[in-house]
Structure 1
């Protein structure tokens, strides 16, 4: 009986150790109170945003020192993993970037050189998609679309 109690005690401590390690192992994107600047970098200033239904927001940021835009899709309520994406594209240069996966808090960053160019950008959370076309290019009026699949 003494042997069984020792084995059970060791097993219990082992389970606690594994449980504590698992509880402390947070996915890289699980960051409550995340901001676009935490995702893209402190030099990036938010220049535009679009809601992804009621689930979160896609943010377009710009870094004046290097001419790059960055996009991040951030959930309103971080939690269980969901399919998420963020993307950006400059049609007249053909350059773009994207991030797609299963995340708990945000998708991104996605970067592209956009100084002096119109940009198309967007993202999705679960089954709600948002895209903005012809954005941040002076007198042109951007076009926004949000849809559910």
Structure 2
């Protein structure tokens, strides 16, 4: 159900706004850079895999601020694997909450989406990321439930 939600939100964006054509640079993995803020410590990266190609096409990076109990998520493309235009999205929520906090749809991001934040002190988070690429014929979408708890 969560995958359907993220896919529906991102698909609606495609239908509403289309994509902006961008040229691809040299193949490299988009560097992990903390866009969450200096108080946020990096926890782990989770893969976004294109199930049809069996390749990792992006990453969801999770950060945590132990001082305020907020988690932060950023999705970035894996340019070492994919080429062409990118469309990147990210979502996060406290596990069990109904509402997702997202970034990406409608923005035509090509390097990363986010940061997005969710308060979850003493609780777990759910998060997801999506990367469309190669003129948007390639696609990876992964949702993780209760994978990080703070």
- Give the TM interval when normalised to the shorter protein: 0.5 to 0.7
More helix by proportion, 1 or 2? 1
Q: 2:38 maps to what in 1?
A: 42
* 2:127 is equivalent to residue 115 of structure 1: no
Q: CA RMSD in A?
A: 2.3
Consecutive unaligned residues in structure 1, runs of 5 or more: 1-31, 139-149
* 2:101 is equivalent to residue 97 of structure 1: yes
Q: TM-score with structure 2 length normalisation?
A: 0.61
Q: 1:84 maps to what in 2?
A: 88
Bigger radius of gyration? 1
Conserved in 2, the CA contact under 8 Å of 1:85 and 1:107? Answer: yes
Consecutive unaligned residues in structure 2, runs of 5 or more: 1-28, 50-55, 133-138
Tell me which of 40, 61, 64 is aligned to 2:63. 61
How far off its partner does 1:43 sit? 1.7
| Larger RCO (CA within 8 A; separation ≥ 6) | 2
Conserved in 2, the CA contact under 8 Å of 1:43 and 1:63? Answer: yes
Matched residue SS, 2:104: strand
Matched residue SS, 1:98: strand
Q: Distance in 2 between matches of 1:36 and 1:117?
A: 25
